Amino acid sequence: MYALTSDGSSAVIFEGVSKSFGDIHAVRSLDLEIAEGCVYGLLGPNGSGKSTAMRMILGLLKPDAGVINVLGLDPKKDSMEVKRLIGYVPESPRMYEYLTAMEYLDFIGDAYGVDGEVKAERIDEFLEAFDLEGRENEMMNGYSHGMKQKVAIISAILHRPRLLILDEPLGGLDPKSARIMKDLIHRLGDDGVTTIFSTHVLEIADAVCDRVCVLYRGERVAEGPPQEIRARADRPGSSLEEVFLKLTEAGDVKEIVDALSE
Amino acid sequence: MNLRIALRLSTILSLASVRAKRTMDPVPTGRFKSPTTNLTASAAAFIISAVVVFFFAARGSPLEVKLLFALLMVLFPSMTAFMAMVYSVQFEFSQSVEATSTDMINWLPISPEDYVIGSTLSTIYAISPILALIFGGTFGAAVYTGWLDLWAVGNLMGFMGSLIGAFTLEIVRSLMNRLSQALFKSRGQFAMITRTILSLMLLVLIQLLYNMTILMKVASWFSVSIAEAWFIPFLWPSLTVLNYMISDGAGALFYTGLSVVLTLIVFLAGVKARDMNWVPVPVSYRMRPVELRSLRRGILGRLGFSSVESAIIRKDFKSLLRRREMLTQFAIPAMITITFLVAQSGLIGGSVPPDQVKYGFFGMMMFSAVTLSMGLSLTCMGQEGGAFSNLRKIPIEPISIIKAKIFYAFLPTLLIVIVVFSMVLFFIGDLVTMLGVFLLGITGILDVIMLSTAIGVYYVDFTEVPRQRFVKWEGSFLAFITLIAIIIAVLSPFLYGMYRPELNLIPHTAFILSEVIAAAIAYVGYRIVVGEMNRLYDSEDL
């Protein structure tokens, strides 16, 4: 389904990447190699470094140490070129809410240099797919969280990126849109688009991802296809959730639940 | 550089100015549809001010009109740069670091050049009605004097000045991002106070760079006249106008060239600065652990505030000191006072006598206190943003919220007023008079707080993206008018006493009447604000 990493067709490479904020080590000596066309899940508890890693791929944060390569480019040096190739949906999209969805998407299309007719065609197509048709001329400050999330997703895929970065993309989406999103990720993968997404919903990671990387306190604790990680964690038959809890040292939650319910 | 993208971005950013209000109709129509509102207002402002100034100029002495017009043209570039700076500073400070760091502009392929041009054009768009007012007014004077060519040169340089001011903001923005990052490694209250003080100092310094009095003083240090001060870059646009006025074509051309170079340098510096510190890192200060206390303890409890009121007051003061977007409340009063003080102090060698400087300083301090009280009360509700819904979810009576907000706006002002009056008392004496003036000052400030809070609640704006607004512009305008009305109403017995000296109203009767009027306004203001708060609390539109 996706290319092997050894022939140089990697979409993203991290080599010994570290990033700290003051005395907080957000990412520590992280090595990653994500093949083109791969659907790659970044898993980890809150504050494990997932969003920091994603922001470094975009060139929004500079690593303190190590090297990052994105589609053959250095995100700090070739920042504009990298941004043109990437579509990004942040965890809490802050869009210009005083714009209508149509105005916003029109602007995004222009920013990415999408041709007028193609832009109009794609916007119509995506608005219909995400059930936003008929609401596109309303200002987004009246939209629900889920509707804003849909607009953010459309804006990230409008220019047909080669790399899609989705930070918790399914939060707030209704079941139909979540399903569309999952199918879309697979279809984009078939077309050679690499997708990196972070999630806490492990069933989704299990169902969607070709490979996952579990981060904990900024370090990589496991990496590989979900079934392989299960086997490596000595829990071949268990769910990814159990494996995740074991890897992130939160194994025995029963004790915590008991204490909380007292 | 992609000029098309820059223009597109400037349109998008300009739309923010006209769509601040969430209307009942979610589909933007009429004046909300496109950013032409300001342009229409600018055209009207130009025509009206041109006609009004022409009419008044025709009634004045031709020589005086010519002198005033010539002086205005020379000062124009400095004035427009100052305006662009003040507006931009407000805009900059009202953006939270968190919002800026997650702004979609960060990950779109928009180059720093495109962004700086787009952002600058939107700043000029926002101040265009004020610029048009000045362009129009000077046009009226130019038609009267027949100096249309001077008007064209002066306005061209004025426009250049506004570009320089707006580009400078990008440098300030970048320096502030850098400052936040540098202080990230520090901890606690000290780091926060340092950031606040350094940010204010940076702003004051930038303002001083554009202050014509200071620039002229710097020229005098080198014993040269203003016309020879070629080594002060910020004077180049003014020197273009000056040389043109004295018919020195070569000089005018020379300084035009230098002004263009200066504009380009500031632009490139802005681009470079933005490129270097494009995305601010949201600063996470680690504070000392909170001591969990039982309810109703502490000074606020002893002052009669309930536990929930005390909690809101403490929350608001923490927010005032910790949120960057709240810095704007201090920034403008501080900028006005410090710029005045530095420009007129003996340190710089101001031309104003020391006694007048002293009175001027006290006056400025009082003006700052009033501005601060108006700003804090006007924005105290809007600063809640989306979190206002949290206040409605927990069992708090609206009256408790209002009591807390009024105290929050009152305390910082009270401290300034106490400092000012202690200084006045020390330098001038007469305890009884000063206590009387102090009492009247405090009651007057309470009037401002009550009515501004009521306006802030009525015109509340919880918008958070792309910047915190706190209050709609109509509210800000009304608060300013109300402030003037309060000053006139409270001082009316004194004004009447001056008009009818035979009634012997000044000082005692006038003072008592003023105090009664001020107290009445404060009471009425309190009733209004309570009513408005109840309405907001029960509103279904939020």
Q: Do B273 and B376 belong to one domain?
A: no
- Is B19 among the domain residues? no
Chain A: closest CA distance from residue B110 (Å): 7
- How does DSSP assign A68-135, residue by residue? EEETTB-TTTTHHHHHHHEEEE-SS-B--TTSBHHHHHHHHHHHTT--HHHHHHHHHHHHHHTT-TT-
In tens, the pLDDT along B70-114 reads 888 888 887 787 777 766 666 666 555 555 555 677 788 888 888
> Which pLDDT score, from 0 to 100, does residue B321 have?
74
> Which pLDDT score, from 0 to 100, does residue B286 have?
54
Cβ atoms of residues A196 and A57 within 8 Å: yes
In tens, the pLDDT along B147-184 reads 999 999 999 998 898 888 888 877 877 777 776 666 65
Smallest CA–CA distance from A108 into chain B, residue: B108
Q: Which of A20, A84, A96 to mutate to test the interface with B (most CBs of B within 10 A)?
A: A96
- Is A3 among the domain residues? no
**pLDDT higher for B298 or B250?**
B250
- Counts for chain B of helices (H) and strands (E), in that order: 19, 2
Task: Calculate what percentage of chain B has a pLDDT beyond 90.
Answer: 23
Q: Do B322 and B248 belong to one domain?
A: no
Q: Do B222 and B315 belong to one domain?
A: no
**H-helix segments, B146-248:** 148-184, 188-209, 212-221, 236-245
- Is B9 among the domain residues? no
Residue A172 pLDDT greater than 80, yes or no: no
- Is B295 among the domain residues? no
Neighbours of A74 (CB within 10 A): 14
Q: Do B343 and B196 belong to one domain?
A: no
- Is A102 among the domain residues? yes
Query: Which of the listed ranges A196-210, B224-238, B515-529 does the model predict with the highest average pLDDT?
Result: B515-529
Residue B373 pLDDT greater than 50, yes or no: yes
> Which pLDDT score, from 0 to 100, does residue A161 have?
93
- How does DSSP assign B469-492, residue by residue? -EE-HHHHHHHHHHHHHHHHHHHH
**CATH assignment at residue A154:** 3.40.50.300
* CB atoms A94 and B110 under 8 Å: no
Q: Do B86 and B217 belong to one domain?
A: yes
- Is B335 among the domain residues? yes
> Which pLDDT score, from 0 to 100, does residue B127 have?
78
Q: Which of B120-129, B176-185, B362-371, B386-395 has the lowest mean pLDDT?
A: B176-185
- Please give the average per-residue pLDDT across A51-75, as a whole number: 90
* Overall number of domains in chain B: 2
Which residue segment(s) compose the domain that A43 sits in? 10-261
- Please give the average per-residue pLDDT across A37-45, as a whole number: 90
Chain A / chain B CB contacts < 8 angstroms = 87
Q: Do B416 and B537 belong to one domain?
A: yes
**Gap between the Cα atoms of A230 and A249, Å rounded:** 15
Cα Rg, chain B, nearest whole Å? 25
Which residue segment(s) compose the domain that B229 sits in? 38-278
Coil vs helix vs strand at A16: strand
Task: Calculate what percentage of chain B has a pLDDT beyond 70.
Answer: 75
Give the closest residue to B67 by CA, choosing from B55, B57, B81, B77. B57
* CB atoms A94 and B102 under 8 Å: yes
> Which pLDDT score, from 0 to 100, does residue A249 have?
64
* CB atoms A22 and B185 under 8 Å: yes
**Gap between the Cα atoms of B207 and B71, Å rounded:** 21
Mean pLDDT across chain B: 80
* CB atoms B5 and A83 under 8 Å: no
Chain A: closest CA distance from residue B465 (Å): 7
Residue A99 pLDDT greater than 70, yes or no: yes
| Per-residue CA distances from A40 to A37, A153, A195, A224 (Å) | 9, 17, 6, 9
Smallest CA–CA distance from A94 into chain B, residue: B103
Q: Do B223 and B329 belong to one domain?
A: no
Cβ atoms of residues B450 and B413 within 8 Å: no
ipTM of this predicted structure: 0.73
| Per-residue CA distances from B162 to B6, B79, B254 (Å) | 18, 8, 20
Residue B414 pLDDT greater than 80, yes or no: yes
Give the closest residue to A212 by CA, choosing from A228, A225, A231. A225
Chain B: closest CA distance from residue A104 (Å): 9
Residue A2 pLDDT greater than 50, yes or no: no
> Which pLDDT score, from 0 to 100, does residue B219 have?
64
* CB atoms B8 and A138 under 8 Å: no
**Gap between the Cα atoms of A12 and A6, Å rounded:** 12
Q: Does pTM top 0.80 for this prediction?
A: no
- Enumerate the residues of chain B whose CB falls inside 8 A of the CB of residue A110: 4-5, 8
> Which pLDDT score, from 0 to 100, does residue A59 have?
86
